[in-house]
Chains A and B, each alone.
Chain A
Amino acid sequence: MTKEEVKTSLLNIISEIVPDEDVMNLEGNTSIRDQIDLDSMDFLDIIMEIRKKYQVEIPEEDYPELATMNSSVTYLEPLLVDK
C-alpha cells in the first residue's frame, strides 16, 4: 500500500465506525479525537478493524502513534507496505 492508500483505508475504517462524523475534512496534524466525537470504545474499534482487515497487531504501547491522521499514516505505512 502506498501512503495515500493507507490514508484512504484508515479514513474508510473511521467513517464506518463513526458514520455521523465528517471524517473527510480531518486536519492531518491535530488529534483526531479533538476534531470528531470518538470515544475509547470507538478508538479500540479502529485498532480491531485494522487487525481484521490487514492481520496487523498493534500493541497497546503504540496506541499514541494513532493520535493524528499524519502520525497514524506514518506508523501504519511500513506495516501495510505488503498489503
Chain B
Amino acid sequence: MKYDLIIIGGGLSGLAAGIRSAHFGNRVCILEQQGRVGGLNSYYHYQGRIFDIGLHAITNYVPRHIKSTPLAKTLRQLRLSYDDFQLLPQQISRITFPTKELRFTNDFNFFIQEISEKFPHQIDQFTKFVQSLKGYDEFSAKKEFVSTRQILQSFFFDPLLIEMLLCPLMFYGCSWENDIDFAQFSVLFRSIFCEGFARPQDGMSKIIQLLKTKYQHCGGELKTNCKVQKLHIHQNKVSEVHLSNGQTMKAEKIISCIGLPETKDLCTSWGGKTTNRTTTPRTGALSFMESIIILNTMPSQLTFDTTILFYNDSERFFYQRPKTLIDTSSGVICCPNNYQTEKPLPEGMIRLTNLANFTLWNGLDEEEYHIQKKFCLRESLKKVERFIPGLQDRILIHDIFTPKTIEKFTGRRQGAVYGTPDKTKDGLTPIKNLFICGTDQGYLGIVGAMLSGISMANAHILY
C-alpha cells in the first residue's frame, strides 16, 4: 500500500502536520522511533512521577480572544479550542546580570517600564526598536544569516542591554553560537517578551494525548517503536522508506521532523551539486545539561516566586559550546510551581539548565559519566544558592540529562535541541518529495513547532 504522506518523527511538528494532512483526506502514517509521541516535548515516568522532557514554558502565550497570533492560528488550524491546552500564565521572570536585573511578565508594557527604569538612557531607542520589529515580517525574511548583534548595536549604545536582551532568547531557541539570525531573534522576541510564558496545567502529557487522539480521529496512522533506517532515493525522489525491522514503506511525499542533518544521513543520496547550507547542513554546537529536582518543600517557602530566572555572571553573555562539561557562568532556573493556578502542583520542583559540551560528555566512560553528572549538579546548584537560599538541603529526588541523553532519546545529533544553524525556511530539501518541518525549518518553541508542521503541510501537501 502506498501512503500519500509518511511523516518521520512524532514530535509536535509531526503531529500537527499529520492532523492537517489527514483531516483533509490524505492517507498519512507517522513513524516514531520511541514508544511514545512528543519528541523533545514528550514526558516520561520517574519514581512515580511524570516529568516533562523539555518543557520550561510554552512561549507565545496570549490570553483568550487575542487574535492573529501564533497560538490563535495554531488552535484554529488544528480545530482545537483555547481551553484544550489549559494554559496557566507565568508570575514573573527575571534576567539577572551582575549589575542589573530586568524583570518581565506576560504584559509587554511592564517590560517597557522595566527598560525605562533600568536603562533610561536607552528607552527611546528601545521604543524605536520595538516599532521596527512590528514592520518586520520574519516569514518572508531572507534566507541568508542576518546578524542580530549588528542590528542591536545599531540601535543601542549600551552593550549591557544588548546582552540582557539576547540571554533569554538565546537560551530558548538559538542554534548559532554567540549570535542569532535576525528572523529567528524577532520570532523569539515576540514569543517571549511581547507575548509570554505559560504552562499547561498538567504538563505536556495532556497536550500530547490530545494531539495524538485528534490525529487518529482524522484517520491518521501511527507506528511507534518504528525507526527509519534509510530513505532510498531514486531519480532525486524518495522511492522507499526502509525501517530497521526490515520492512519497506512507500509514499508520494515525505515530511521529516527529525532534523535536517539527521534526515540527510538517512538518504542514500542527497542531490544537488550546489553546496549551499541546505545541502551541507552543520550539526548544531549547542546542547544543555538539564536537572529536574523535586523538593521536600515548596519554592515559595524558600521565598522563590520567580517563574523563570536567566542569570549570567558577567557583563558579556557567552552562548557557545563550553570548553568544560558544563558552563555554570550562565544558566536558567525554571520553577513549574510559579505559574498562576488554583490547583497547585503537589510538590516543589525546580529545573536547572546550563550549556554543556557534547563531545566531553560523550568521551566519558560509564563510571566517570555518573560521577560527573553528580559533580556537575553540585556545581550548578552552587550558582543557584544565591537565588534560592537553602535549595541544596531540600532536594528529595533529582534526574539529570546531558547532551548524550538528549542525543540518545531524541536522535538529535550531538544533543543539539535547537537543531542545525542551517535552517531550511521553506522546508525544501534537494530531494523533490522530501520536506523538513520542526526546529530545522526555523520556527521555535512548542507553538512554533506545531505552526511549523501546519505551514509545511499547507505548503507542500494541501495547497
| A and B are partners in one complex rather than unrelated chains | yes
- Interface residues of A, Cβ cutoff 8 Å to B: 16-20, 37, 39, 41-42, 44-45, 48, 52
Contacts of B77 in A (CB 8 A): 41, 45
Asked, given contacts A17-B76, A18-B76, whether A44 binds B67 with beta carbons under 8 Å apart, the answer is no
Q: Which residues of B contact A16 (CB under 8 A)?
A: 79
Q: Fill in one digit per residue for B57-92: 1 if any A CB lies within 8 Å of its CB, else 0.
A: 000000001011000010011010110000000000
- Tell whether A52 pairs with B463 under 8 Å between CB atoms, given A19-B81, A37-B68, A42-B76: no
Residue of A nearest to B64 (CB): A20
Instruction: From known contacts A18-B76, A52-B25, infer whether A41 and B82 are also in contact, taking CB-CB under 8 Å.
Output: no
The CA of A45 and the CA of B19, in the complex, are separated in Å by 13
- B contact residues around A41 at 8 Å (CB): 73, 76-77, 458
Contact B76 A52 (CB under 8 A): no
Expressed in whole angstroms, the Cα–Cα distance for A42 and B458 within the complex equals: 12
Identity of the chain B residue whose Cβ is nearest the Cβ of A19 in the assembled complex: B81
A-B contacts counted at CB < 8 A amount to: 24
**Does B462 touch A at the CB level, under 8 Å?**
yes
Are A48 and B24 interface neighbours, CB within 8 A? yes
A19 surroundings in chain B (CB, below 8 A) = 81
**Docked pose: A75 CA to B8 CA in angstroms:** 41
Q: Which residues from A are CB-within-8-Å of B463?
A: 44
B462 touching A48, Cβ below 8 Å: yes
Q: Say whether chain A's binding surface is mostly helix, strand, loop, or mixed.
A: helix
**Once the chains bind, are B73 and A52 in contact (CB under 8 Å)?**
no
When chains A and B are docked, how far (Å) is the Cα of A19 from the Cα of B67?
12
Point out residues on B near A: beta carbons under 8 Å.
24-25, 65, 67-68, 73, 76-77, 79, 81-82, 458, 462-463
User: With A and B bound together, what is the CA distance between A19 and B76 in angstroms?
Assistant: 8
- Interface pair A39/B68, CB less than 8 Å apart: yes
Known interface pairs A18-B76, A44-B463; 19 further A-B residue pairs with C-beta atoms within 8 A, sorted by A's residue number: A16-B79, A17-B76, A19-B81, A20-B65, A20-B82, A37-B67, A37-B68, A39-B68, A39-B73, A41-B73, A41-B76, A41-B77, A42-B76, A44-B458, A45-B76, A45-B77, A48-B24, A52-B24, A52-B25
A41–B73 Cα distance when bound, in Å, is 8
Question: Which of chain B's residues has its CB closest to A36's CB?
Answer: B67
* Interface pairs (24), CB distance under 8 Å: A16-B79, A17-B76, A17-B79, A18-B76, A19-B81, A20-B65, A20-B82, A37-B67, A37-B68, A39-B68, A39-B73, A41-B73, A41-B76, A41-B77, A41-B458, A42-B76, A44-B458, A44-B463, A45-B76, A45-B77, A48-B24, A48-B462, A52-B24, A52-B25
Enumerate chain A residues within 8 angstroms of B458, measured Cβ to Cβ. 41, 44
**Bound complex: CA A46 to CA B82 (Å):** 20
* Cβ contacts under 8 Å, A45 to chain B: 76-77
Whole-angstrom CA separation of A51 from B408 in the bound complex: 43
Contacts of A48 in B (CB 8 A): 24, 462
Taken together as a complex, chains A and B put the C-alpha atoms of A42 and B454 apart, in Å, by: 12
Closest CB in chain A relative to B453 CB, distance in Å: 13
Chain B proximity of A13: nearest CB distance (Å):
12
Neighbouring A residues of B79 by C-beta, 8 Å: 16-17
* Minimum CB–CB distance for B126 against chain A, Å: 29
**A-B complex: 4 closest residue pairs judged by Cβ atoms:** A37-B67, A48-B24, A52-B24, A52-B25
Tell me, in angstroms, the Cα distance from A17 to B77 when the chains sit together. Answer: 7
CB distance from B73 to the nearest CB of A (A): 7
Rounded to whole angstroms, the CA-CA distance of A72 and B142 in the bound complex is 37
Q: A55 to B458, alpha carbons, bound, how many Å?
A: 19
Please indicate the chain A residues that have their CB under 8 angstroms from the CB of B76 in the complex: 17-18, 41-42, 45
